[in-house]
Amino acid sequence: MAKAFDLRYPIYSSGRFMRTGKDRVEVADVQVAVALGDAQVRPGDLVVGDDDGIVVIAQGHEERVLQVAREIVEQQDHIIEEVLAGSKIADARAAWLPRAPARGGALRTSSSGSAEGRL
Q: Which pLDDT tens digits describe the chain residue by residue (119 residues)?
A: 677 778 888 777 777 666 777 788 888 899 999 987 788 999 999 988 877 778 899 999 999 999 999 999 999 999 999 999 999 999 999 999 876 554 444 444 444 444 444 44
Per the domain annotation, does 1 fall within a domain?
A: no
CB of 34 closer than 8 Å to CB of 19: no
Per the domain annotation, does 11 fall within a domain?
A: no
Domain holding 44, by residue range, is 27-116
- Indicate whether this model's pTM tops 0.75: no
Q: How many domains does the chain have?
A: 1
Handedness of CA 18, 19, 23, 26 (dihedral sign): positive
Per the domain annotation, does 13 fall within a domain?
A: no
The confidence score (pLDDT) of residue 27 equals: 84
Per the domain annotation, does 56 fall within a domain?
A: yes
Per the domain annotation, does 19 fall within a domain?
A: no
Per the domain annotation, does 6 fall within a domain?
A: no
CA angle, residues 47, 18, 28, in degrees to nearest 5: 65
CB of 33 closer than 8 Å to CB of 41: yes
Per the domain annotation, does 2 fall within a domain?
A: no
The confidence score (pLDDT) of residue 108 equals: 44
Per the domain annotation, does 95 fall within a domain?
A: yes
